[in-house]
Structure formats: structure tokens, C-alpha cells
Amino acid sequence: MDRTESTVRNLLTAIEAPLYDVGVLSERGMLPRLDRISAAAVLDRLSLLKYRNAHGSHIYIRPSGEHRFTALDDLNETSLARLSADGFNPCALIETSAGNFQAWLKHSRVFPKVLGSFAAQTLAGRYDADPSAADWRRFGRLPGFTNCKSKYRKPDGLFPFVHLHSYTGQQYPMAQAFEQEITKLYEAQEQEREAKRLQSSLSPHRGPRLSSLSLERFRTSIKYQDRPAAADIAFCVAAYANGMSEERIERALEDDYLSRDPSPTKRAAYIRRTMEKARRWTGR
């Protein structure tokens, strides 16, 4: 087993996925990818990838389809120290060029595409990673091959290798807490976007008549399927935009309270939070 094969095996063990996509980028652009191939198939194609790399192509890899990993690009040692201090220890750490790192983080579960991208963008913003590379389907450089960027060419004409610094394969300690946090942040962002969109499309003059504006109409909308809390926010925004009284809005939420929990305190707190968000987003 040569050094490249050993390195690639270690990475595939750390970023364990059913299937992988392998990208080959030449000066002419991205060559036909090797999509949805197994770890064994990746190893079987190392000779081809070495040939491409020797002729100036960059070699990349990512888990295929939705997955439980995030790649953060263009990290320095300071950012890496902050990641680890905050409990976001990478399951694989790759040095793509001198002092420049790419970290793979292993989440507690597979994230849907939109949540995966939101998580990547949030983490990139917090730890000074490349925001343009923050995406659920981001490719990472495959270690064991060279980084063929012309600016890294050495005096002897050769290029530096991409190094695999660590490959624990472990989920980062903050995974469960971050999953809860990022889910709440994403839902809040989507609710705010929907509220603003709804507010801009409604007015007392061209919105639906108050007589036809009901909470049930929003709850049964395909747009809010399986998102009853978002339906409640949208109803409140539309109600405020059309001049419905707060007493009437509150009564509608009270009559059709989402939870079966009979606690009056929890019910009142939910209604208050929902109406406060709607008031804030409509400028009331």
C-alpha cells in the first residue's frame, strides 16, 4: 500500500458515507465526475486520479447526497483553536496549503440540504471560514494528492502535497446542542422571511377581507404543511396588515392552540411570543 492509498483510506474512514462523489478539476474546467461510488471504488480509481493529478488536475471528494458532514474551508490555526475550544473538533483535518486548513465536522444526524447549507454558512461566519465555500454539497480536497495551484509551485517545479493532519472520525462534542440551536435559528429565519414576504404582499386595501382571514386557512395551506407554528406567524402578520384587532387575533390563537398541553401558562406564553414576532415584523 503506497502513501496516497493509505491517506485516502484514512480519510474515507473518518468521513464515512455510503457513497462518494469525486471531482477532477483541470485547467479546462471540471472533468466528468465520478458520482455515487463506494469507498472501494474510490480506491480502485486511485491510479486514474494520480494520472490526472500529475497532469495538473485538482482532486476533490465529498459524501454523495444528503449527509451529516460540513466542510469549512480556508481556516487558519487561530480559527482551528477556536473551533476546538468551542467543542467543534473536526472528524478530519486537512492542510490544503501551508497554514491553510479544511475541517470536516460530523453532525449528530443527516441534515436536509437547506439546513446543511445554513449550518455551513453559520459556522463559516463564526469561525472566519470562506463564506463562498459554505454549502451542504461542498467538495473538499482529497489528501494524498498535490495542490496544483500555480502560486504553490516550488522552485523545483513540483507542487506540495495536501496533508491529512487528523482523522478521528468522531462526532464533535457540541453536535447535539448545535443541532438544536441551528434548527431553531433556521426556523426563526424562515418565519421572518415569510412574514416580510407576506407583509409586502398584503395591505388593508388589497389583502384578503377580514371575514375570510382565518387561522384555519393558513394551517391547511400546502405551503405550511407540517409547519403549524409558521402558519400561526403568517396568520398574525396578515391579520395585523389587514387591521384585525389584537383581541381577535389572540382569540383565534387561543381557540386553536397547537399543543394538547392544557397548561394555561404555556399557552399564554406561546400566544404572546407569536404575536410579538408578528408585531415586530410588521412594525406595529
Measured CA to CA, the distance from residue 160 to residue 227 in angstroms comes to: 50
Give the per-residue pLDDT at 224. 83
DSSP state of 89: -
The pLDDT of residue 124 is 97
pLDDT at 208: 47
Q: Cell triple for residue 137?
A: 454539497
Residue 63's nearest CA partner among 92, 104, 10, 20 is 20
| Rounded Cα–Cα distance for residues 108 and 68 (Å) | 7
Phi-psi category of residue 172: left, alpha or beta, with phi > 0 → left and psi -120 to 50 → alpha: beta
| pLDDT for res 214 | 86
The count of other CB atoms within 10 Å of the CB of residue 115 is 19
Could you give the C-alpha distances from 149 to 29, 51, 157, 232, in angstroms and in order? 14, 17, 12, 52
pLDDT of 250: 93
Residue 124 identity (one-letter amino acid): A
pLDDT, residue 200, reads: 67
List the chain pLDDT tens, one digit each, 284 residues. Answer: 699 999 999 999 999 999 999 999 998 888 888 999 999 999 999 999 999 999 999 999 999 999 999 999 999 999 999 999 999 999 999 999 999 999 999 999 999 999 999 999 999 999 999 999 999 999 999 999 999 999 999 999 999 999 999 999 999 999 999 999 999 999 888 888 877 777 666 554 444 455 568 888 888 888 887 788 888 988 998 888 888 889 999 999 988 887 766 788 888 999 999 999 888 887 76
Rounded to 5 degrees, φ, ψ at 239 are -65, -45
Which of 255, 175, 275, 162 is closest to 215 using CA atoms? 255
HEC readout, 214-281: CHHHHHCCHHHCCCHHHHHHHHHHHHHHCCCCHHHHHHHHHHCCCCCCCCHHHHHHHHHHHHHHHHHH
pTM of the model: 0.75
Q: For residues 4 and 45, is the Cβ–Cβ distance under 8 A?
A: no
